[in-house]
Amino acid sequence: MADAYDAILIGAGHNALVCAVYLSRAGWRTLVLEQADRPGGAVCSAEATRPGFIHDLFATNMNLFLASPIARQLGGELERHGLHYAQCEHPFANVFPDGKALRVHQGTAATLSELERHDSRDAAGWRALDQLYERLSPALFSLYGSRLDARSLAAVAREQLPALGLGGTRELARLLVSSTRELAQDYLHTREAQAVLACWGMHLDFGPDVSGGAMFPLLEAFTDMRAGMAVARGGASRLIDALVALAADHGAELRTGAEVVRVTVRAGRAAGVELASGERLEASRAVVAGVTPPILYSRLLADAAPEAIARAAERYRYGPGTLMLHLALSGPPPWSAGTDLGRFAYVHVAPYLDDLAATYAQACAGLLPAEPLLVVGQTSAVDPSRADEGHVLWVQVRALPAQIAGDALGEIEPRSWPEAGERYAERVLRKLERYAPGIGELVLDRAILTPTDLERHNPNLVGGDSIAGSMHLRQNFLFRPFPEVRDYETGVEGLLMVGAGTWPGAGVNAISGYNVAQKLLAPPRRRGEDVKLALGAARAAAAPLARAARRRLGSGARRSGPRPR
C-alpha cells in the first residue's frame, strides 16, 4: 500500500523547504523529495576548487532572505541550527578602464561624498533617486512580498495608494515600465554613474533597453546602501541545512536521490506522486511542485494537464545563460582603481551602459559576447571563514547564450559549452586582468560551471538561465508564470507551484514558499468573498485619489474665469 502524507513537495530548493517548515509546524505530515543527492538547488556551497576554499556555487547574496518574513519569524530557530550571517558595510562598486571606480557604501553620506568627488551632477541625481526610493519602496516591497490574489492586491492598494497619492501612483507606474537606461539617464549625468545603476538589471535578464528593468536596480542599489550586503557564514548551504533541520524538528521528512516522474491525478485532483523507482506516494491535502512550468506540465503532469494551460506552459520563456567562474587566490585581487576595493562584496566590471547593451544583444543572438558583464563576488572579504589561507572569488558572467551559434570576436570555434567553456573562461580572466593586473599569478585553482553545468546541477536552470525564467513584463507580476494560472495554482486542484518560476521570481527570497504555505494553511474562503473584499478595498484606496482629483479640478475651475482686460 502507498505511503500517505498530508503534503508532498517536489524539489528541495529553499522555497520548498520553507513551505515544508510551515506545513510541518502546523501538524501536517510533510515529505520533501529531491532528485539530487543533496538539497538546496541553486543555494549550494562546496569546496569547488581545493580543500579549505568554500565557494557558493550559484546564489550568494542573502539580503532578500534576511528581509523576508521567514527570517523575522524563524530567525532564532534557524540560528540555533547554525545559520549566521557575515555582513559587509561596502556592498558594491564599479570599476572602469581608466583606473577609476565608483563605490556604494552602507550609508547615504559616504556614497554621496564619493559621487560628489566624481561629478556633482551625479551626486544630485543620486540624491533624487534616493528620494524616489523613499517614496516608492514601501509600495514596491509590499507588492513584492504579497500574493497576487484579489484579497492581497486589494490590501496592498488599501495600505499604499493613499500614501502615494495621484503623483506617486504615476511615478510608480512609470518606474514599472521603464528600462534601466531610461532610469539611469533620467537621473545620472556620467556614463560611469549610469553603469553603477544599470549593472543590476543584468543580474536578472534586463538588458539596458528592456522595458520593466528599472525597478530591481532601484530597489537593490538603494537597499544595499542602507543595509550593506550579507552572505551566509560558512557557505550558502548553511541556510539549507538550517531549514532541513528545522523542518525535521517538526516531523518533516526529506528524501534525496528520489526523482519524481509523475504527479498522479484522480478525478481532477492531485493525489500523490510516482518516483522513477516505481514507488507511489499519496498526498491527501496537497502536492507542491518546485519546478518550472515546462517541466511540470510536459513531464510530471503529461496527459493530466489541462490542455489550454499546457499550451501556455509551452510558451514559457527562459532568459540568457550564466557561467560561474570560481577562483581560489593566494592573495586579494590587485584592483588598479585602489586596494580598498578588496573590501567590497561585489565589484561590477562592465564597463559602460552601451557595453551592457551589446553584451545582451549578442547573447540573445546566440553569440559569445566580446565583453561580458563580470559580477565579481569577493566572498572571503565578507566572510573570512571561507578560506583558511588565501581568498575566494565568485565570478558570475552575464549574459551568455544557452546554445552557441558563434563568437562575437570570431576567436572561439566550438559550438557547445563543454568544448567552449575553458576558452571562454580564459576570455573572462583576460578581462579581469585588465582591471586587476597580476591577478592571474594569484590563481591557485579554478572551477568553471558553464550554462550546461548549471542545468545539469538543477534542471530548473534551463540553458544556464540562473533566474529560471525570463522576468520581462510579459512574464512578471500578474503574468508570472503566465496569465492562465494565478496565485501559485496550476489548473489542477490540490497542486501548487513554488520557486523562481512563480511570483516574485528569482533570488534567495523564500517568498513563494512562504506564500504557498500560508495559502494552504488559511481557512477556506466563502464563494465570492474575494470579489467583495477587492471591490471594497478598491473603493477605499481610490477615495483619496478621487478627492485629490476633485480638488485639482475645482482649483482649475476657479482659475478659469474671464481674464482681466
Region 58-81 average pLDDT: 97
Q: At what angle do helices 108-118 and 191-203 cross, to 10 degrees?
A: 130
Q: Taking each helix axis from N to C terminus, what angle separates 150-177 and 529-559, rounded to the nearest 10 degrees?
A: 40
Give me the pLDDT at residue 564, please.
36
Find, among 17, 83, 80, the residue nearest to 238 by Cα: 83
Sign of CA dihedral 48, 52, 53, 59: positive
Question: 162: alpha, beta or left, given left = phi > 0 and alpha = psi -120 to 50?
Answer: alpha
Place of cell 526523482: 259
Nearest-angstrom CA–CA distance, 247 and 508: 18
CA distances from 529 to 121, 151, 233, 505 (A): 52, 9, 45, 28
Is residue 551's pLDDT more than 80? no
Run of H or E residues at 216: helix 215-227
Mean pLDDT for all residues in the chain: 94
User: Which of helix, strand or coil describes residue 8?
Assistant: strand
Listing from the earlier edge strand, what are the strands of the sheet with 101-104?
Answer: 101-104, 92-95, 346-349, 373-377, 391-400, 321-329, 443-449
For residue 16, give the nearest of 559, 550, 501, 539 by alpha carbon: 501
Q: The C-alpha cell of 485 is what?
A: 494560472
Query: How many C-beta neighbours within 10 Å does residue 563 have?
Result: 5
pLDDT of residue 336: 98
H or E stretch at 199: helix 191-203
Instruction: Look at residue 14 in the predicted model and tell me its pLDDT.
Output: 98
Q: Centre a 10 Å sphere on the Cβ of residue 240 and count the other Cβ atoms it contains.
A: 23
Q: What percent of the chain has pLDDT over 70?
A: 92
pLDDT in tens, 454-499: 999 999 999 999 999 999 999 999 999 999 999 999 999 999 999 9
Q: What is the pLDDT of residue 262?
A: 97
Whether the CB-CB separation of 220 and 200 falls below 8 Å is answered with yes
The CA-CA-CA angle for residues 422, 427, 432, to 5°, reads 120
Helices (H), 272-348: 293-295, 307-314
Q: Is the peptide bond before 481 cis (omega within 30 degrees of 0)?
A: yes
Place of cell 496550476: 490
Task: Give the three-class secondary structure for 6.
Answer: strand
Nearest to 517 by CA among 78, 42, 74, 34: 74
Mapped onto helix, strand or coil, the DSSP state of residue 17 is helix
Over residues 33-59, the mean pLDDT reads: 98
- Nearest of 44, 66, 74 to residue 250 by alpha carbon: 74
Please, which pLDDT band fits residue 302 given cuts at 50, 70 and 90? confident
519: amino acid identity, one letter: K
Cell match 550554462: residue?
A: 451
Q: Which of 153-167, 193-207, 252-266 has the lowest mean pLDDT?
A: 153-167
- Residue 515: the pLDDT is 98
Above pLDDT 90, what percent of the chain? 90
pLDDT at 79: 98
Structural domains in the chain, sorted by start:
3-46+65-85+236-317+460-521 (3.50.50.60), 107-227+526-559 (no CATH)
Q: How far apart are CA 548 and CA 164, in angstroms?
A: 12
Looking at residue 409, the DSSP 8-state letter turns out to be T
- Cell representation of residue 564: 482681466
CA 269 – CA 154 distance, rounded (Å): 29
For residue 371, what pLDDT band results from cuts at 50, 70 and 90? very high
Q: Give pLDDT, residue 206.
A: 98
pLDDT at 70 over 80: yes
The angle that helices 69-80 and 511-521 make with each other, rounded to 10 degrees, is: 100
For 9, list phi and psi in degrees, rounded to 5: -110, 130
pLDDT for res 88: 97
As a whole number of angstroms, the distance between CA 148 and CA 504 comes to 9
Q: What is the pLDDT of residues 327-343, one digit of tens each?
A: 999 999 999 999 999 99
Q: Which of 19, 46, 40, 14 is nearest to 31 (CA)?
A: 19
Residue-wise pLDDT for 414-464, tens only, equals 999 999 999 999 999 999 999 999 999 999 999 999 999 999 999 999 999
Residue range 503-549, pLDDT digits in tens: 999 999 999 999 999 999 998 866 566 556 555 555 555 555 556 55
Q: Is the peptide bond before 544 cis (omega within 30 degrees of 0)?
A: no
pLDDT attached to residue 219: 97
